[in-house]
Structure 1
């Protein structure tokens, strides 16, 4: 398959019970919605869907293969949260304790009472790095964390939540480093990905970066049926940075009093809290942006994970089966801690301890509305677990969604999964 050719068949395995999933996956390519993509599902621990297709690099026509990894942006946050929760389970970290108990320098400028829970639930009031981060500092995570330690919160911590799109990772990482002496990426490799043979990295080695799919801007405008989500509607198919989307009766044109309209306006205002949160460190200063080797190898725990759909689904499989965290720890971690209007993203969001819960930023098919958790990633990627239904799934792609209301590709795949459970 070459760039611009959407007629090639996809590859992989799909259990007959989930034939609808393959139909949806294939249709996305036929409709020109995908460049390259992969989707994987486990049911009760067993692989039932493992699909891939398209091109990994539109410039060269390099095919997307079985093991093609790609930057999954904020799907990373759930993995980073799990690494920190391992320390919670072992009694090394208390989520109710101040961050300064582990990172003393953090206490200044009104942050002495910010807890680990505030960080994991986006209540710390630190969604923005105020000083521009120089490119030469991109791989020095402790140096970026020091910048946050010197700041004052933008709101009273614990009184509101706002998506810490990039800063979340530097905050989590510094807590992990202070407690263990290793980075979040190293902890993930040693305790989560490595023991399970998962192709998942927070800090991609050179050979992985070389074969990673290249992200590509521009999604062809969806057919009319794609642009409106029905009630009960989409999961985090819309990448959260590109603006989460869909929802009951939501179309591409939002009413003036709709929070999606406020989000759209904020996306055009360079000084909005949303753009300030998303724009520093300034990835756009690197040639190729998220494709640049610096981003792939830096392993930012908010958005730097390079993975395959199979590996990310495998992470959620291990999580929901109790292999990584004790079931009681996971149950408490996915309990919604905050929900409602998000100060950064404008629309409603909901979070447990680092995991998204169903809301406009993580819209979920009706059958998963009470039990699904996970995280979206910019452009449309998705990782989702649901212990009540025994499912784990992940979607990765390289054609980034651009509409304010995002993309419903992942939602339609998730919907087909839930519909197949009957």
Structure 2
């Protein structure tokens, strides 16, 4: 039986029960969950193994590649530039990236990038592995493409391209890569265990991601082999819920269709071409701005703690960023998604307990990772693990933990 380590405020004993039950029922290999309430740590739990092959235990400081939880960090970096008057969110991307103004993209705004409305969810030319660490080169591929739909008329999850697009904007404005900017302006000043591209020492002790049972081609390259959208397992978790109707069935069909827009969005750059997929050192150190953050649960939760407390962005900046810009059917994920400026808002792709249905924000990560903040309730949460959820059957682990938290306050 797996021993659960760490501390839990007595008020949150239900959280510890849920966390332990996931291990007892075989849903976890290794995992950690941290919660801050009004800036104070009330849950800090971990257990299991960080590497199922070696048996290396999951420790308090075990980091993990958090996949698309990264998108919220990238969004925050861009918002910080906007807050400083260095970036106009409503202006065309081409104002800071002139080469982008080709093939009908002249009027795409930075806000379109934040909200997945740019019509560029796929990279149409194969990205070779030798280019994986050259984010500017990948961004240039996108600059040479035409949008799939008229920008601003629909939204569709830009699973990987979100990061290369918004990351290039950050680089053009700040002169630093997104990882360098986040380290200098957010992670290091606040002492967060969060790395946008892991140093060698951090990568060496990172949890090794293990794939669960997979069904169909959508996850043929999934972690640890490398599909990159957080929303597939979170969306498919909704398939476990009754009464969702045809959109979930359509989404499930898209998962199984190699040529679907969903799979095209997830599969390039093809992480599965690297030995070990997302566990490969190239992925851990590259710091892709859509999926590259390596963090402990405490570091991820601390990021949201500091956002909620106004230590990263001014409260009015965050409030505006949380205003829902798009809500409804997602052109890539098919079922409903909802976004502010880069942050997920509660929807089928971001399942949230009813108490947080209007106040929670954050981002999920492939396989079940979760970063969540809630200003009204003073919450910051981070959930990391290494047993990746199945893309079709999904996982409700993060939802159950969040439900236990909200039920305890």
TM-score, structure 2 as length reference? 0.95
Asked if residue 90 in structure 1 is aligned to residue 81 in structure 2, the reply is no
**Paired residue for 1:187?**
181
Asked if residue 407 in structure 1 is aligned to residue 395 in structure 2, the reply is yes
Asked if residue 320 in structure 1 is aligned to residue 308 in structure 2, the reply is yes
Q: CA deviation at 1:241?
A: 3.3
How do 1:156-175 residues align onto structure 2 when only pairs under 5 Å count? 156-175=150-169
Q: Is the 8 A contact 1:239 1:407 kept in 2?
A: no
Q: CA deviation at 1:388?
A: 0.3
Aligned-partner Cα distance in 1 for 2:204–2:402: 30
Q: Is the 8 A contact 1:96 1:117 kept in 2?
A: yes
**Paired residue for 2:7?**
13
Query: Matched residue of 2:231: which SS?
Result: coil
**Paired residue for 1:288?**
276
Work out which of the residue numbers 349, 359, 380 in structure 2 matches 1:361.
349
How do 1:8-407 residues align onto structure 2 when only pairs under 5 Å count? 8-218=2-212, 239-242=230-233, 244-247=235-238, 250=241, 258-407=246-395
Q: Is the 8 A contact 2:234 2:364 kept in 1?
A: no
Aligned-partner Cα distance in 1 for 2:246–2:33: 32
Q: Is the 8 A contact 1:244 1:405 kept in 2?
A: no
Q: CA deviation at 1:220?
A: 11
Q: CA deviation at 1:404?
A: 1.7
Q: CA deviation at 1:242?
A: 3.1
Q: Deviations over 1:11-34 (max 9, x none)?
A: 001011100000000000000000
Aligned-partner Cα distance in 1 for 2:79–2:391: 34
Query: Matched residue of 1:114: which SS?
Result: coil
**Paired residue for 1:235?**
none
Q: Is the 8 A contact 2:234 2:350 kept in 1?
A: no
Q: Is the 8 A contact 1:75 1:382 kept in 2?
A: yes
Mark the runs of 5 or more structure 1 residues left unpaired by the alignment.
Answer: 1-6, 222-237
**Paired residue for 1:234?**
none
TM-score, structure 1 as length reference? 0.92
Q: CA deviation at 1:217?
A: 0.7
Q: Is the 8 A contact 2:239 2:393 kept in 1?
A: no
Q: Structure 1: which 4+ aligned runs deviate by more than 4 Å?
A: none
Q: Is the 8 A contact 2:236 2:252 kept in 1?
A: no
Query: Matched residue of 2:201: which SS?
Result: helix
Aligned-partner Cα distance in 1 for 2:239–2:284: 36
Aligned-partner Cα distance in 2 for 1:220–1:86: 39
Aligned-partner Cα distance in 2 for 1:53–1:246: 23
Query: Matched residue of 1:83: which SS?
Result: helix
Aligned-partner Cα distance in 1 for 2:239–2:270: 34
Q: CA deviation at 1:260?
A: 1.3
Q: CA deviation at 1:243?
A: 5.0
Q: CA deviation at 1:267?
A: 1.1
Query: Matched residue of 1:362: which SS?
Result: coil
Query: Matched residue of 1:23: which SS?
Result: helix
Mark the runs of 5 or more structure 2 residues left unpaired by the alignment.
Answer: 216-228
Q: CA deviation at 1:64?
A: 0.2
**Paired residue for 1:226?**
none
